[in-house]
Chains A and B, each alone.
Chain A
């Protein structure tokens, strides 16, 4: 049985797809058979971030409508043989997804994979609801600013009441907080909520802090999940996140401003 992980947030643009790509690649690189599903029907992005946009033939909606088999639609990653991508349809909308169809596909995938990562669309409507409904674990991606925190709180409420585990009175979904685009410098200047502020409002287990980093944008543009870039701070932070998710004790990094040496101070940037 696969473990189903939903990457969700409520708010858009906080880094759900980047996180889905990084975590699925991170899990696959550690030998776990992993599939990542793009639930953002109509606004397909995951294929770009994963660098497989030219290999999309069939998509999630085709499989739901029995127009293609799962094996036809799944795209095998070229960098890691354990990773598969199920892209979204770009020409349809979220109403093309049905609860029964999603359940059937997840059940089928469960037999062959260790982890199923569901990349949720923004919002709390149908697409987001279906992405989280069958989840076992939820990674709530939040930016350190008030509207993102509130939307995450709303999403946590939905996870606790509108998911399959909640409706069937099973053990609740395990919820993790992932703080992205974090800038210790701006926190110090009082321009950004700190980790502690966000933790106080959401009171959630902190899976990791991803620093604001140029590496994320260049990774997205080149179609390589940032987790592969082990020289970058964001790549290392995502490696830590995967380790923590798998149960390892890893101290949090990138939370405090790094002490700059004399030369660093002299030249400013990194």
Chain B
């Protein structure tokens, strides 16, 4: 097997790497070219320099089947190009429109939500327009703790609520980006809305916390009265002050 020395010694002229570039997507909701032209001009007028010669993806996936049939894709392309945009790709649309795009050297991208037109054309079964998304499990955003939270333990519910079905001991720390519910005695520290959500609240069945905080506004239990001990309460923020209210 012969080895071409020049292939090995010369530095690589090209390299294929994967990368991701964010491009604006033009979502088309109407088949009326005049309408599209007018509204697009308005939108581009707000930042003309930003969009000058900007590459753009044309997305026909939002159109109904009838609208797709009646849409003059060639005219749409000319309109977009006339507004100094550079269509770099398209997705959705009918098989003819995708063929047209390819003829114009515009990439046809896979549509993540709807199957490509060519696929649906061969598929005899009428596919549902949009699959109903399965219900999200509550644990996706809510953290549920059913064991006592002991002194020295820290629990953080990132991006959602925290529900504790047992007690929270003194010296323990529970935190959530959202609300906090405690269905045992709360004797440790509870910090709701730690990423700055001032709407977050703390609900608990027995408030004896060492410290409560919402969105960084905190209060220790120094000098607190015991009148709410053992009662169902909520804590929320009003005018930068923590309000403890029995429910």
Per-residue CB contact flags for chain A residues 126-168 toward chain B (1 = under 8 Å, else 0) read 0000000000000000000000001001101110110000000
B-chain residues with CB within 8 Å of residue A158 when the two chains form the complex: 150, 152
Given contacts A201-B169, A203-B167, 13 further A-B contacts (CB under 8 A): A150-B151, A150-B171, A153-B151, A153-B152, A154-B151, A157-B149, A157-B150, A157-B152, A157-B153, A157-B169, A160-B153, A200-B185, A203-B148
CA distance A156 to B7 in the complex (A): 66
Tell me the nearest residue of chain A to B167, going by C-beta. A203
CA distance A202 to B148 in the complex (A): 9
Q: Is the CB of A153 within 8 A of B166?
A: no
A-chain residues with CB within 8 Å of residue B151 when the two chains form the complex: 150, 153-154, 157
Q: Is the CB of A203 within 8 A of B166?
A: yes
Tell me the nearest residue of chain A to B170, going by C-beta. A150
Per-residue CB contact flags for chain B residues 122-148 toward chain A (1 = under 8 Å, else 0) read 000000000000000000000000011
Interface residues on B, range: 10 to 19
Interface hits, B159-216 → A, CB 8 Å: 166-167, 169-172, 184-185, 187
Residue contacts A-B, CB under 8 angstroms, 9 given = A153-B151, A153-B171, A157-B149, A157-B153, A158-B152, A160-B147, A200-B185, A201-B187, A203-B148
The A contact surface, by secondary structure, is helix
Interfacial residues, chain B to chain A (CB-CB below 8 A): 147-153, 166-167, 169-172, 184-185, 187
A161–chain B nearest beta-carbon distance, Å: 7
Interfacial residues, chain A to chain B (CB-CB below 8 A): 150, 153-154, 156-158, 160-161, 172, 200-203
Q: Is the CB of A156 within 8 A of B167?
A: no
Tell me the nearest residue of chain A to B188, going by C-beta. A153
Tell me the nearest residue of chain B to A160, going by C-beta. B147
A-chain residues with CB within 8 Å of residue B148 when the two chains form the complex: 156, 203
Across the A-B interface, the 7 shortest Cβ-Cβ residue pairs: A157-B150, A153-B151, A154-B151, A157-B153, A154-B152, A153-B169, A156-B150
**Which of A157, A160, A202 lies at the interface centre, i.e. has the most chain B CB atoms within 10 A of its CB?**
A157
